[in-house]
Amino acid sequence: MAIVTAHELTRTFRTRRGQEVTALDRVTFSIAEGETVGLLGPNGAGKTTLARILATLLLPTRGTAQVAGWDVARQAKQVRRAVGLVLGGERGLYRRLTARQNLRYWAALQGLRRKEADRRTDEVIERLGLVARVDDRVETFSRGMVQRVHLARALVSDPQVLIMDEPTNGMDPHARAGFLRLVRELQGSGVTILLTTHDMLEAQELCARVALVDGGRIVRAGATEELFADLHAPRMVTASGVPEDLRSRLAAFPGVSGIDGTDGDLTLRVVGEEEANQVLLALAGAGVRQLAMAPPNLADVYRTIIADREFAV
Partner 1 sequence: MLVYARTHLTLLFRDPNLLAPLAVLPLYCVVFFTVLRHHHHEELATQTAIGAFLMSMWAHAVFVAAEVVDDDRHEGTLEPSMLTPGAYTAALSVRVFSTTALAIPVLAEALLIARFAFGFPVTLGSVPLSLVTVVLTTVGVAGAALLVSCLMVLVRGARTLQNALTYPVYLLGGLILPASTLPEPLRWIARGFFLSWSADVLRALQVAGAPAPLGSLGVLTVLVAAQVLVGFLALRRVLTTVRAGGVSLYD
Ligand X SMILES: Nc1ncnc2c1ncn2[C@@H]1O[C@H](COP(=O)(O)OP(=O)(O)O)[C@@H](O)[C@H]1O
Least distance in angstroms from the C-beta of 194 to partner 1: 15
| Cβ-Cβ contacts under 8 Å for 231 (sequence gap 6 or more) | 220, 296, 301, 304, 305
Report the distance separating Cα 175 and Cα 151, nearest Å: 14
Report the distance separating Cα 99 and Cα 261, nearest Å: 51
Report the distance separating Cα 68 and Cα 75, nearest Å: 11
Let me know the angle formed at the C-alpha of 88 by 111 and 227, rounded to the nearest 5 degrees.
110
Query: In terms of CB distance, is 86 or 125 closer to ligand X?
Result: 86
Query: In terms of CB distance, is 47 or 153 closer to ligand X?
Result: 47
Of the candidates 25, 29, 48, 83, which one interacts with Mg ion according to CB under 5 A? 48
**Interacting residues with ligand X (CB under 6 A):** 13, 15, 21, 23, 41, 43-49
- The closest alpha carbon to 166, from 56, 91, 233, 66, belongs to 91
Least distance in angstroms from the C-beta of 83 to Mg ion: 17
Let me know the angle formed at the C-alpha of 52 by 51 and 56, rounded to the nearest 5 degrees.
120
Query: In terms of CB distance, is 66 or 102 closer to partner 1?
Result: 102
209 binds, among Mg ion, partner 1, ligand X, none (CB under 5 to 8 A by kind): none
Query: In terms of CB distance, is 169 or 238 closer to Mg ion?
Result: 169
Pairing status of strand 161-165 against strand 2-14:
unpaired
104 binds, among ligand X, partner 1, Mg ion, none (CB under 5 to 8 A by kind): partner 1
Least distance in angstroms from the C-beta of 15 to ligand X: 5
CB atoms within 10 A of CB 305: 15
111 binds, among partner 1, ligand X, Mg ion, none (CB under 5 to 8 A by kind): partner 1
Q: What b-and-e string marks burial along 208-219, b requiring 16 or more CB atoms within 10 Å of the CB?
A: ebbbbbbebbbe
110 binds, among ligand X, partner 1, Mg ion, none (CB under 5 to 8 A by kind): partner 1
CA atoms within 13 A on the CB side of 123: 13
58 binds, among ligand X, Mg ion, partner 1, none (CB under 5 to 8 A by kind): partner 1
Let me know the angle formed at the C-alpha of 180 by 178 and 183, rounded to the nearest 5 degrees.
115
Query: In terms of CB distance, is 94 or 311 closer to partner 1?
Result: 94
- x/- mask, Mg ion, residues 156-195, rule CB under 5 A, reads ----------------------------------------
| Cβ-Cβ contacts under 8 Å for 307 (sequence gap 6 or more) | none
Stretch that binds Mg ion, among 40-48, 127-135, 178-186, 295-303 (CB under 5 A): 40-48
Using CB under 5 A as the binding rule, whether residue 197 contacts Mg ion is answered as no
**Interacting residues with partner 1 (CB under 8 A):** 11, 13, 55-59, 76, 80, 83, 85, 87, 89-97, 101, 104-106, 108-111, 114, 117, 137, 153
Query: In terms of CB distance, is 88 or 234 closer to ligand X?
Result: 88
**By the criterion CB under 5 A, which residues form the site for Mg ion?**
47-48
